[in-house]
Amino acid sequence: MKSAIIVSYRDEGLIEENVKDLLKLGYEVIIAADDPNEKVLRILRRYPVKATISKKRRGKWKALNDALKLASGEQILFLDSDTKIVNLCDLNGKDAIEIRKEVSASSILEKLINIDYFVMFLTAKLAEKFNSCLSINGSAFMIKRSVLQSVGGFRRRINEDTDLGVRLGLRGFRVCVDGKAITKVPSNLKDWFVQRERWSLGGAEVIIENFWRIVKRPRLWIPYIFVFYPAIIGFLFSLLLPDSLISKLLYLLIPLMVFLSPKLLSLAMLMLFEIHTLKNLLVIMLSFIVWSATMMFLAKKFRYEIDCKLLPLYYFVYSPLWTMVCITSFFRVLILKLLKKEVKVKRWLI
């Protein structure tokens, strides 16, 4: 038997659509609902599903573990209520499956997030090639019950899915990417910041906790570094270009040549500045061209629809912003851990 666990907080989301499809496929369906509204309760009465209900929010990790106690299947699908399954596959000898997510996007922000999800998909595919795993997106994934139990189930963490992915990777379990799901994403910047703050704080918490074990296994984190942070490509290009030490010395020496004409000195300084500027522009443009060409090629190869016109905005604005959020969150969590204080997250119960 196969089991499917759908997690809901208040709203019904896409629960009913998933329940109908999963029951047709022969899945045992368990719904973990916190503070459910009347529509969620009506779904529970209408369909032959199991449920674990809490009048108060208990934390996603707790809701998942409570639902897991009701599951009978060895193969378990986990879904968030805002994610719709399009197609599923069996584990086929794998320990877990990261289900490919796409976004039904209309606004510019949603289209940028869709590119983000494509990057996450590529990261997971690359990690699969390395036989590694550093994260799982908990909105849709499948795992063997025995594997989940062997790593201790879900733990009390901000990102219980990231924590699970790291434990699977450190234990050497086989995680692949397959299937397809459509998921909802924040439609405005305010909600995006709330979500990404939670993701980055939760990710930092897990990385700090397992830092040395992760560092010692480069195949776990190498796939993520280069795909998630494309600016590294620019850094590598800058290493290949001539060193700027001479130009730095000239910046200091030219003004000291007082025996030359002021106009000549000014022109020399301007030329030096322009050369330095052109070098930086060359690095930036080369890195962007390489990255964007790679994204377009892979999107076509994997039939993943992205808005290519937004690649410059993603590369130069969205991705750096997301990177800065991750960096600031990392140091915030690190300081709080050193001070032995609790990490708190907006609109989220741990």
pLDDT value of position 286: 80
Q: How many folded domains does the chain comprise?
A: 1
Q: What is the pLDDT of residues 28-43, one digit of tens each?
A: 999 999 999 999 999 9
Q: Classify residue 243: in a domain, yes or no.
A: yes
Residue with tokens 């759908």: 6
pLDDT value of position 220: 76
- Residues 285, 288, 293: CA angle, nearest 5 degrees: 125
Give dist(CA 141, CA 137) in Å, integer. 7
Give dist(CA 251, CA 81) in Å, integer. 60
Q: Classify residue 151: in a domain, yes or no.
A: no
pLDDT value of position 4: 97
Q: Classify residue 239: in a domain, yes or no.
A: yes
Q: What is the pLDDT of residues 184-235, one digit of tens each?
A: 999 999 999 999 999 999 999 999 999 999 988 887 787 677 677 666 665 5
Q: Which residues contact 226 (CB under 8 A, 6 or more apart)?
A: 232, 233
Q: Classify residue 103: in a domain, yes or no.
A: no
Amino acid residing at 239: L
CB 274 within 8 Å of CB 247:
no
The stretches in the chain having pLDDT less than 70 are: 223, 226, 229-266, 268-269, 272-274, 276
Residue with tokens 């009347």: 38
pLDDT value of position 249: 61
Q: Pairing between strand 2-9 and 27-34? A: parallel
Structure tokens at 293: 């060409």
Give dist(CA 112, CA 58) in Å, integer. 32
Q: Classify residue 43: in a domain, yes or no.
A: no
pLDDT value of position 92: 86
Residue ranges making up the domain that contains 245: 229-306
